[in-house]
Amino acid sequence: MIRLLIMFLTISYAHADILEREDVQNFIELAVNSSELTKEEIENYLIEAVPSEKAQTARQNQPEVKATWSRYRNRYVTSSRINNGVKFVKENYEILESVEKDFGVSKFYVASIIGCETNYGSFLGTYNPLDTIFTRAFEPKNNFWQKELIQLFILSKKYNLDPKEIKSSWSGALGLGQFIPSSYNYYGVDYDNDGMVDMYNSRKDGIASVANYLKENGWKTGSDAVSEVSVGEKYEKLQDDEIAELELSFDLNNFRTKITTTELLNEGFKFKDEFNEKISPLLVYEQGKTKLYLGFDNFRVITKYNRSSKYALAVHQLALEISKRFDE
């Protein structure tokens, strides 16, 4: 009993001591000056925050960085995720149809993103956003995450949420579509018109918010995201290590690359298709074959959701498979 009391007093002291740190005091001043939050409200949130070593570890082992394309694909484009995607579309068909009409974004891409992010709402994370974002906000070069922490407090106050109790990813992403707080506040849609954006309990809000995010970031209705073309003899037998060692006039497998068809053909790739949009070329080893995918504007819009070419290609492939299976 005495030991438990000592532990409680130690934790309480540590929480209170947070407010005495110079960097935290500077943050409080920033938050007060850049929002309508009061100093007392900010302090009440902060004294509950505990740095998360677990979240730091998770961040360093993300598949977008560590995994080969084949391993990454096998994680997201699976039979179970495809089947669950078809089930999700059928169960939410009226909402998805309405959202597609209102926002101009394919219901299959919306479903695919939700499938990749939370397995269609079945897994919303094991962390809480207060601890995870607090952890990042007070690391070096922390301006972005300090702003996210302020946005979390604004969100919490607006909807009377306890940021210590709600679920999030290791990065503090929230709800059905895993929005960081600023995106939740900016892109969130109250699609069921109940007076609040609820991405945890309202399928309408969660689905519409994902579509709105894509629309506001430049989604082109009716345009392709990705096209597969023939790779040509020069590159057709390359595997992951050999692809990584290629030295071309542009970066492969980088969503920031935007080149013309001619620039790609000049490097020895062989395909007859012509495309007007700028291309992000993706050369990958997949299911025992070397494949060439061309990412277009909508592909790059998906990377605004997650800054990874692997992620955007997985979303595309999952959307395609859900669509095919749905139409069978």
Nearest to 186 by CA among 160, 156, 216, 145: 216
Q: Residue 98 pLDDT > 90, yes or no?
A: yes
Q: What is the pLDDT of residues 278-307, one digit of tens each?
A: 999 999 999 999 999 999 999 999 999 999
d(CA 125, CA 127): 6
Nearest to 149 by CA among 306, 26, 64: 26
> What does pLDDT average to over the chain?
93
pTM: 0.92
Q: Do 20 and 157 share a domain, yes or no?
A: yes
Q: Do 151 and 235 share a domain, yes or no?
A: no
Q: Do 135 and 47 share a domain, yes or no?
A: yes
Q: Do 167 and 269 share a domain, yes or no?
A: no
pLDDT of residue 291: 97
pLDDT of residue 16: 55
Q: Do 143 and 291 share a domain, yes or no?
A: no
Encoded amino acid at 298, one letter: N
Please give the residue range of the domain that contains residue 22.
2-59+125-174
d(CA 281, CA 261): 10
Whether 105 is in a domain gets the answer no
Q: What is the pLDDT of residues 118-134, one digit of tens each?
A: 999 999 999 999 999 99
- Reading the block at residue 266, the tokens are 């000049």
R_g of the chain, CA atoms, integer Å: 22
Q: Do 14 and 141 share a domain, yes or no?
A: yes
pLDDT of residue 13: 36
Q: Residue 12 pLDDT > 80, yes or no?
A: no
d(CA 11, CA 17): 10
- Band the pLDDT of 5: cuts 50, 70, 90: very low
Q: Do 159 and 241 share a domain, yes or no?
A: no
What's the angle, vertex CA 147, arms to CA 51 and CA 189, rounded to 5?
A: 110
Q: Do 48 and 135 share a domain, yes or no?
A: yes
Q: In what order do the strands lie in the sheet with 280-286?
A: 226-229, 289-295, 280-286
Mean of pLDDT values over 176-196 = 98
Q: Do 290 and 147 share a domain, yes or no?
A: no
Element (H, E) at 280: strand 280-286
Output phi, psi for 287, to 5 deg.
50, 45
d(CA 31, CA 162): 18
Nearest to 325 by CA among 102, 84, 56: 84
Q: Residue 187 pLDDT > 60, yes or no?
A: yes
Whether 258 is in a domain gets the answer yes
For the chain, how are helix, strand and coil distributed in percent, rounded to 5?
55, 5, 40
Q: What is the pLDDT of residues 248-269, one digit of tens each?
A: 999 999 999 999 999 999 999 9
> Do 116 and 177 contact (CB within 8 A), yes or no?
no
CATH at residue 142: 1.10.8.350
Number of domains into which the chain is organized:
2
DSSP-assigned letter for residue 249:
S
> Do 158 and 179 contact (CB within 8 A), yes or no?
no
Q: Do 135 and 269 share a domain, yes or no?
A: no
- Reading the block at residue 101, the tokens are 């009409």
Q: CA dist 298 to 98, 106, 305, 312, Å? A: 20, 11, 11, 9
Mean of pLDDT values over 227-243 = 95
Nearest to 76 by CA among 317, 306, 240: 317
Q: Residue 36 pLDDT > 80, yes or no?
A: yes
pLDDT of residue 10: 35
Mean of pLDDT values over 11-19 = 59
Output phi, psi for 316, to 5 deg.
-60, -50
Q: Do 34 and 136 share a domain, yes or no?
A: yes
